[in-house]
Copies of this chain bind each other. A is one copy, B any other.
Amino acid sequence: MSETSTLARVTVRLKRAILDPQGRAVQGTLHRLGHDAVEGLRVGKVIEFTLPGTPEEVRAQVDAIAADVLANPVMEDVEVTLEPVPASEGETGT
Contacts and interface: CB of A to CB of B under 8 A. Distances in A.
Given A65-B30, A94-B24, A50 B43 contact: no
A85 to B, nearest CB: 10
A15 to B, nearest CB: 12
Contact of A39 (B29, B43, B61, B90): B90
A65 B20 contact: no
A56 to B, nearest CB: 15
Given A23-B47, A39-B91, A43-B45, 5 more contacts: A13-B48, A35-B65, A39-B51, A41-B94, A44-B45
A-B CB proximity, top 8 nearest: A40-B92, A41-B49, A44-B46, A24-B94, A46-B46, A38-B49, A40-B50, A39-B50
Interface of A: 11, 13, 16, 20, 23-24, 26-27, 29-30, 33, 35, 37-53, 61, 65, 69-70, 90-94
